């Protein structure tokens, strides 16, 4: 009994030290750096949750990331706490530049398999360390969804959009974020898994309570990602993150079983598909390992389905919320885009000619980027970024919101100005240069860059431009006045807001 009490006491002391005392030591250690920001309202275990709660429900959940970048533009590194460990956030363009100089020799991908959706796909190209094998896998995936291959998907993308948009009724408010999720689910599954897969079939899913339900494949993906997020946010899992790996709680056990079931479902439907144009068939037809192919395809699916649907909602909102931008975009779309054109090549040329639409999409990806962080990295030894020492084994993220709102790089970063991406505009330059100095190329990073850039970037940009052009050429719409008046609103991943619109007529 005494031994048990002693062990319990030792365990308790370790937990207290790891989660409270160690955190305060780290804050004291980094307080000497003038270019490091740490929130004054720090709360052990809860981390930035206390900051999010303090800013109120009317502000986008991750507004504080943007606010610090605007108010403290000389901040290069921000330290936040997630559970038991500090996270080092790359906050400035200069820090981002120095960061990428160290990738992959001294900084490399940090496996995220213990947390969030990373547990769905252990060993995929977005999680493993850089190597010739990793590069080969990445290049093969990028080839089949690159710019030369993705153009052939234009009819499929349009068919999916028309199928979903046919259900919309005029003068009724609806959640366009959810509707775009349906569009992107249809597009992504058909491109990756096959046009003939049975998406409406019901599959067995185990809830966090241990109950069994039957849901569609789309619901399966969404619910699993949601449950993984909830599981990682539990206090017991934040205190002891390896509970997630060991599956020692009901919610973790359910998630692990659902992940295993999902793999079986996807392998079965992909192998039964007769669509030889799917990415899965294209890769496995050249004798590539089916499990590795599926692993990398799921990565593209996760990166493409949810973020792209949020981006589409944000683009439509930002266009309509800014009358000057709406007028210019509509004029260009009416002049250059014909939705009745059947030729794929002609359609592509039409999209290429919509230059202001392209700038508008890029500005929306800055202003309302779907992702607030990049995926995680790990320092392979002790490193220095902008003079700040970061220890070996530290977890590092690029803070995309901070890069996109840094007031040293962007003129009036709160405003929605597509001309920022026009080289002839003064908005293309930095605020203090009087129009003489261009922004750092590291100040804009919606798809990451260098070796670890998003493999689906070209496909995603095609989907965004095509669907937005098709939508604007077909529908008149309005957006919620309450949402327009809220300058703190964003529709990024994990936002508490969803874009609400109403179709007022067809063109």
Residue ranges for the known binding site for heme are 454
- Would you tell me how many other CB atoms lie within 10 Å of the CB of residue 383? 19
> Is the CB of residue 321 less than 8 Å from the CB of residue 364?
no
Given a contact cutoff of 8 angstroms between Cβ atoms, the answer to whether 319 and 484 are in contact is no
Nearest C-alpha neighbor of 396 from the set 124, 127, 125, 77: 77
β-strands 77-82, 377-379 pairing:
unpaired
Known binding-site residues equal 454
What span, in angstroms and rounded, lies between the C-alpha atoms of 384 and 458?
33
* Backbone phi, psi, residue 477, to 5°: -150, 165
C-beta of residue 99 within 8 angstroms of C-beta of residue 396: yes
**Strand, coil or helix: 199:** coil
Q: What is the CA radius of gyration of the chain?
A: 23
E strands in 48-187: 77-82, 85-90, 107-109, 173-175
| Positive or negative torsion for Cα 13, 14, 19, 22 | positive
CA 224 vs. chain centroid, Å, equals 16
Structure tokens that stand for 364 in this block: 């929306």
Cβ atoms 91, 64 nearer than 8 A? no
Q: Tokens standing for 156? A: 């499929």
**Which residues make beta-bridge pairs with 212?**
206
């Amino acid at each position: 009994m005494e031994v048990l009490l002693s062990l319990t006491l030792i365990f308790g002391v370790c937990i207290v030290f790891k989660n409270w005392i160690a955190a305060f030591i780290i804050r004291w250690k980094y307080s000497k750096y003038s270019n490091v920001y740490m929130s004054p309202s720090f709360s052990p275990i809860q981390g930035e949750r206390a900051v999010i709660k303090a800013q109120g429900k009317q502000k986008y959940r991750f507004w504080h990331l943007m606010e610090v970048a605007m108010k403290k533009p000389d901040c290069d590194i921000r330290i936040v706490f997630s559970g038991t460990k500090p996270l080092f956030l790359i906050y400035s363009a200069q820090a981002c530049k120095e960061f990428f100089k160290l990738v992959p020799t001294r900084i490399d991908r940090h496996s995220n398999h213990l947390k969030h959706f990373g547990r769905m796909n252990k060993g995929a190209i977005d999680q493993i360390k850089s190597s010739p094998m990793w590069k080969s896998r990445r290049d093969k995936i990028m080839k089949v969804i690159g710019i030369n291959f993705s153009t052939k998907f234009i009819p499929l993308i349009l068919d999916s959009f028309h199928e979903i948009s046919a259900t919309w009724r005029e003068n009724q408010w609806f959640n366009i974020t959810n509707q775009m999720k349906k569009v992107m689910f249809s597009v992504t599954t058909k491109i990756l898994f096959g046009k003939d897969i049975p998406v409406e079939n019901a599959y067995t899913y185990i809830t966090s309570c241990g109950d069994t339900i039957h849901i569609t494949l789309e619901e399966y993906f969404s619910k699993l990602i949601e449950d993984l997020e909830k599981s990682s946010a539990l206090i017991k899992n934040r205190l002891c993150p390896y509970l997630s790996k060991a599956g020692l709680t009901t919610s973790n056990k359910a998630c692990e079983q659902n992940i295993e079931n999902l793999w079986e479902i996807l392998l079965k439907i992909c192998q039964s598909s007769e669509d030889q144009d799917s990415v899965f068939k294209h890769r496995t037809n050249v004798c590539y390992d089916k499990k590795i192919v599926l692993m990398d395809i799921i990565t593209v699916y996760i990166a493409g389905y949810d973020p792209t649907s949020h981006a589409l909602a944000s683009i439509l909102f930002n266009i309509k919320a800014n009358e000057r931008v709406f007028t210019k975009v509509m004029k260009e779309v009416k002049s250059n885009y014909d939705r009745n054109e059947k030729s794929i090549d002609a359609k592509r040329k039409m999209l290429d000619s919509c230059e202001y639409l392209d700038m508008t999409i890029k500005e929306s990806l800055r202003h309302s980027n779907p992702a607030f962080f990049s995926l995680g990295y790990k320092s392979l030894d002790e490193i220095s970024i902008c003079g700040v020492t970061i220890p070996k084994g530290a977890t590092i993220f690029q803070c995309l919101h901070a890069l996109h709102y840094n007031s040293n790089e962007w003129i009036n970063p709160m405003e929605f100005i597509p001309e920022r991406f026009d080289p002839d505009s003064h908005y293309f330059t930095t605020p203090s240069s009087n129009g003489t100095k261009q922004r750092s190329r590291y100040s804009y990073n919606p798809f990451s860059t260098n070796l670890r850039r998003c493999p689906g970037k070209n496909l995603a940009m095609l989907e965004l431009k095509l669907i937005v052009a098709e939508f604007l050429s077909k529908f008149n719409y309005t957006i919620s006045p309450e949402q327009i008046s809220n300058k703190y609103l964003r529709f990024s991943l994990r936002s508490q807001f969803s874009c609400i619109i109403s179709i007022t007529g067809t063109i």
